[in-house]
Amino acid sequence: MSDAELISRYHGRVPRYTSYPTAPHFHPGIGAEIYAQWLAELPADAAISLYIHIPFCDRLCLYCGCNTSVVRNDRPKRAYAVQLSRELDLLADLIGRRATVTQVHWGGGTPTAMPGDCLTGIMDHVRKRFHLHEDAEVAIEIDPTTLTLDCLDALRLMGVNRASLGVQDFDDQVQESIGRHQSYEETEAAATALRALGVTSLNLDLIYGLPYQTAESVARTARQALALGADRAAVFGYAHVPWMKKHQKLIPEAALPGAEARLAQERMIRQVLENEGGYVPVGLDHYALPGDAMAVAMRNKALHRNFQGYTTDATPVLLGLGASSIGALPQGYVQNATGVPAYEAAINEGQLPVARGVALTPDDRLRRAVIERIMCDLELDIPALAKAMGADPAPLLKDAAPLSGFAADGLVEWDGARVTVTERGRPFVRNVAALFDVYLQQASAVTPRHASAV
């Protein structure tokens, strides 16, 4: 089957499955009171991961789909840092003990847009209210063009050991069209400085499907990225959602590659990273050197998926701090107020700033496990997983019926019990996972809430 035929058949809008149920199904019935109860119920020995969201940037890239805005004045950033420390206090008080933290992930926006002393101050507060494990991963997302010496100093004091650099594309015409100018040299300088201060794991973000990109142009960017010597790369398809992100209306739509071209670009980047860089593909959109912890976790079927994408973090408790952050607890998901004013107003009243969430039913847990294993392992023995979770496999096998068609199209191997996504099918793994998403089935298969499958 040709790419064009595959696309016409599977080009629906499907979630990225960084949670199940997915965020559009969170509702305001889950608020501060229920979250407080969930925190108090956490087992005494539960280790915790923290995600800290910084919704500020020094520049606005036209393609950006993140929750952020351009703020150059320090005052609102300092005020926000105070609120983050207060939120840490609220959470620690409700947990009722100095819980062990094994991972701190700073995301955004651009965390390094914060003044350095705010970053170190919050990290010190984490250490005061929680027990930061001696081997904890401290990871941060960085825009290489705005990384200052003050910030580098702060990252060293914070004990940052993992960093992710936004690259996207090095081509001049592409950069001009997305309003993001970034030279190879400044990206390389950031990578070198981060290695020097103790970053042992470096990730690069690349994007395909941007205006003016071609298979040849993304291959050039991927080759330049190889020279940066990263341990991992994330390769995202540009999600064009101008109905949600108004600034994306400034993207020259006529120059956007179509679905077939996007598939060819994704394949080209994969070839360069695998054949010329020695990276192994991980799940839908990640790559790692074979000795990297993510590649090892994949081989051991110990990879997980959370709001940051693929992760080696197996901690069942992820607390999200800051505006729009999402937390995942054994009982369900919670999301903070999206806007900074609403977030800060709740903290000022001494309230957890939760705006919505969802409590997991037994069926949610089962389907969450099915979807996570398909997204991470690209294979699953459905009856075996159902049995391990004490569930009836029959409803899952009923949902799996369309897999025969997927198999006929070369996207999976399917024997009626075990599904294995083929290399051809890798870009369509979300379509496989979506078969088990009852919320999507109820809401209708085509909804404008998500970006396109490829």
Ligand X SMILES: C[S@@+](CC[C@H](N)C(=O)[O-])C[C@H]1O[C@@H](n2cnc3c(N)ncnc32)[C@H](O)[C@@H]1O
Binding residues vs ligand SF4 (CB under 6 A):
57, 59-61, 64, 66, 68, 108-110, 143, 166
Are β-strands 69-70 and 56-57 bridged in parallel, bridged antiparallel, or unpaired?
A: parallel
Q: Which is nearer to ligand SF4, 69 or 420 (CB)?
A: 69
Number of residues engaging ligand X in binding (CB under 6 A): 18
**Residue 60 binds which one of ligand SF4, ligand X, none, with CB within 5 to 8 A depending on kind?**
ligand SF4
Q: Which is nearer to ligand SF4, 87 or 143 (CB)?
A: 143
In angstroms, what CA-CA distances link 289 with 18, 32, 134, 269, 449?
23, 42, 25, 15, 34
In angstroms, what CA-CA distances link 355 with 77, 252, 292, 360, 447?
22, 35, 37, 17, 23
Report 220-259 residues binding ligand X (CB under 6 A): 236, 238-239
Cβ atoms of 171 and 217 closer than 8 Å: yes
Closest distance to ligand X from the beta carbon of 107 (Å): 6
Taking CB under 6 A as the rule, does residue 170 contact ligand X? no
In angstroms, what CA-CA distances link 54 with 108, 126, 266, 383?
5, 16, 29, 42
Tokens of 294: 């993510």
Tokens of 6: 């595959």
Closest distance to ligand X from the beta carbon of 65 (Å): 3
Q: Which is nearer to ligand X, 90 or 273 (CB)?
A: 273
Tokens of 340: 């900074």
Closest distance to ligand X from the beta carbon of 366 (Å): 30
Closest distance to ligand X from the beta carbon of 367 (Å): 26
Q: Which residue has the tokens 């539960």?
A: 46
Interface with ligand X by CB under 6 A: which range of 4-12, 103-111, 220-228, 260-268? 103-111
Tokens of 54: 């910084």
Taking CB under 6 A as the rule, does residue 143 contact ligand X? yes
Closest distance to ligand X from the beta carbon of 94 (Å): 28
Judged by phi (left if over 0) then psi (alpha if -120 to 50, else beta), residue 151 lies in alpha
Report 23-82 residues binding ligand X (CB under 6 A): 57, 63-66
**Residue 207 binds which one of ligand X, ligand SF4, none, with CB within 5 to 8 A depending on kind?**
ligand X
Closest distance to ligand X from the beta carbon of 213 (Å): 12
DSSP assignment of 75-92: HHHHHHHHHHHHHHHHHH
Taking CB under 6 A as the rule, does residue 110 contact ligand X? yes
Residue 131 to residue 352: CA distance in whole angstroms? 21
Q: Which is nearer to ligand X, 65 or 179 (CB)?
A: 65
Closest distance to ligand X from the beta carbon of 33 (Å): 31
**Residue 205 binds which one of ligand SF4, ligand X, none, with CB within 5 to 8 A depending on kind?**
ligand X
Q: Which is nearer to ligand X, 125 or 180 (CB)?
A: 180
Q: Give the CB-side neighbour count of residue 307, counting CA atoms within 13 A.
A: 28
Closest distance to ligand SF4 from the beta carbon of 363 (Å): 35
Closest-CA residue to 76 (of 90, 96, 55)? 55
Q: Which is nearer to ligand X, 36 or 54 (CB)?
A: 54
Residue 319 to residue 336: CA distance in whole angstroms? 10
Q: Which is nearer to ligand X, 282 or 391 (CB)?
A: 282
Residue 190 to residue 278: CA distance in whole angstroms? 23
For residue 53, list its beta bridge partners. Answer: 107
- Report residue 104 CA to chain centroid gap: 14
Q: Which is nearer to ligand X, 166 or 281 (CB)?
A: 166
Residue 119 to residue 224: CA distance in whole angstroms? 31
Task: Note the residues at the interface with ligand X (CB under 6 A).
Answer: 57, 63-66, 107-110, 141, 143, 166, 168, 205, 207, 236, 238-239
